[in-house]
Structure 1
Amino acid sequence: MTTFIYMYLFILGLVLGSFFNVVGLRVPNKQSIIKPPSHCPHCQHRLGVWDLIPVFSYLFTKGNCRHCGEKVSPIYMFGELLTGFLFVWVYSITGFTGELIIGLLLVCLSVIITISDLKYMIIPNKVLLFFLPFLFIARILFPSQSIWYYVLGFFVGGGILLLLAIISRGGMGMGDVKLFALYGFIIGFDRILLALFVASVIGMIVGFTLIILKKVQRKQPIPFGPYLALGTLIMYGYGDEIIQWYRYFLLHL
């Protein structure tokens, strides 16, 4: 039964991930997610059924459009696989509980903003506003701690990044601020603080690596949303264990 659930969630994630690609790539450009139908970004040819099978279509065509032969961005397959694996990961942590709903919503939001931020360095307000009521209602219905723990996480997460945005004078976008406030309400006060630390460390390592490899310039801005998402997901899944280890470490210094 468990294997069947994993397979179902993975396939569901692949299908939804394909849709999330559309949302993440079109919404920042103020385009409809319905019209026009999916098409090749180079030759504009409308994609058929065989072109829309998640992952397999990309692998079968070796990442090229079947009609014009131009390269198709790997971000499409990335979004599909990422969603599929994260859906399975969330279920492995939460099981069939109310927390599963929160985890799946968190993944959906994170995948969309990651695609959008990587492509355009934009975290669309429309995406945040869409997920806001669902995540708030889900967290209120299925709290694992006092609701004030999550309210405090909301204000601390958003407040810290707002302060950084003011200090950096535009180095931190308001989309990041709003996103992290919402993340704070999902995972709570102490977890959101560590999520920011984890995101910053990973972002710094990746940034330095890209500079060394000369993929980006020293002062070139890089999207921070994906790192905030990664830090939050890590703390969502393993926050209790990390906090316990951290407290043990402090007590035995």
Structure 2
Amino acid sequence: MQMIIQILVMFIMLIASISDIKKMEIPVFLLGGTGVLAFLNMLLAIVFGSFAAEDVMSLMPGALMILISIISRGELGLADGIMMMSLGPVFGLDRAVLGLMTALFFSCIYSIGILVLKKGNRKTRLPFIPFLTAGTGVAFICVNCLAI
């Protein structure tokens, strides 16, 4: 069941990525969908007795991103933090952090390319959900398929 939830979340993130690229916004129903799936995954962990402190800790990367969004007055999108907060319970703390770090690496490389090619400057706003989707996808593949 957990694998099905993970695949559904990845599908929703793919749709959210397209929306983020086109409109620089994420529809609320997509954020709500990942939130419902994260809640369902935590509920299943409680029912089957596999709920642990790490499940609560998995909310922290997203909570930190939301806090940064509030402090920076939206420089980091609130939807990015909300999406990240949903990823923790679905993929686990280790995979969520791996996905976030990979997303930050990808966005850094992309940003350097934009600066070098003079297609933008340090104030150029970038959609982050596509990077988060790619990073989470890499983490998903590494952990599930390569057994790392």
Q: Hey, what's the Cα distance between the residues in 1 that align with 2:74 and 2:131?
A: 18
The CA deviation at 1:104 is 2.0
User: Is contact 1:117–1:225 with CA below 8 Å preserved after alignment?
Assistant: yes
| Identity across matched positions, percent | 30
Counterpart of 1:166 (choices 59, 66, 70) is 70
The 5-angstrom pairing of residues 1-253 of structure 1 reads 98-138=1-41, 140-141=43-44, 146-148=50-52, 149-154=54-59, 156-239=60-143
1: CA distance, partners of 2:91 / 2:136: 8
* Large movers: runs of 4+ above 3 Å: 138-143, 239-244
- C-alpha separation between the residues in 2 aligned to 1:215 and 1:188? 36
Where do 5+ consecutive residues of structure 1 fail to align?
Answer: 1-97, 245-253
Partner secondary structure for residue 147 of structure 1: coil
Deviations 1:36-69 (A, max 9, x none): xxxxxxxxxxxxxxxxxxxxxxxxxxxxxxxxxx
Letter in 2 for 1:207: S
TM-score norm. by structure 1 comes to 0.50
SS at match of 2:58: helix
Per the alignment, do residues 167 and 138 of structure 1 end up closer, same or farther by CA in structure 2, a change over 3 Å counting?
closer
Q: Report how far residue 117 of structure 1 moved.
A: 0.6
Is residue 70–residue 78 contact of structure 2 (8 Å, CA) maintained in 1?
no
Whole-Å separation in 1 of the counterparts to 2:132 and 2:32 = 18
Structure 1 residues 101 and 120: alpha-carbon distance in aligned structure 2, compared to 1, 3 A threshold: same
Report the Cα offset of residue 221 of structure 1.
Answer: 0.8
Query: In the superposition, relative to structure 1, how do residues 242 and 219 fare at CA in structure 2: closer, same or farther (>3 Å)?
Result: farther
Q: Structure 2, unaligned stretches of length 5 or more? A: none
Inter-partner Cα distance in structure 2 for 1:139 and 1:116 = 27
- Which fold has the larger relative contact order, with Cα–Cα distance below 8 Å and residues 6 or more apart in sequence? 2
What's the RMSD between the two structures over aligned residues? 2.8
Q: 1:130 to 1:106 in 2, by over 3 A?
A: closer
Aligned length, in residue pairs: 146
Length-normalised TM-score, structure 2? 0.81
1:105, 1:135 within 8 Å by CA — same for their partners in 2?
no
**CA–CA distance in structure 2, aligned partners of residues 167 and 128 of structure 1:** 21
For 2:140 and 2:64, locate their aligned partners in 1 and report how far apart those are by CA, in whole Å: 19
Please say if residues 101 and 138 of structure 1, whose CA atoms lie closer than 8 Å, have aligned partners that are also in contact: no
Contact 1:99 1:142 in 2 (8 A): no
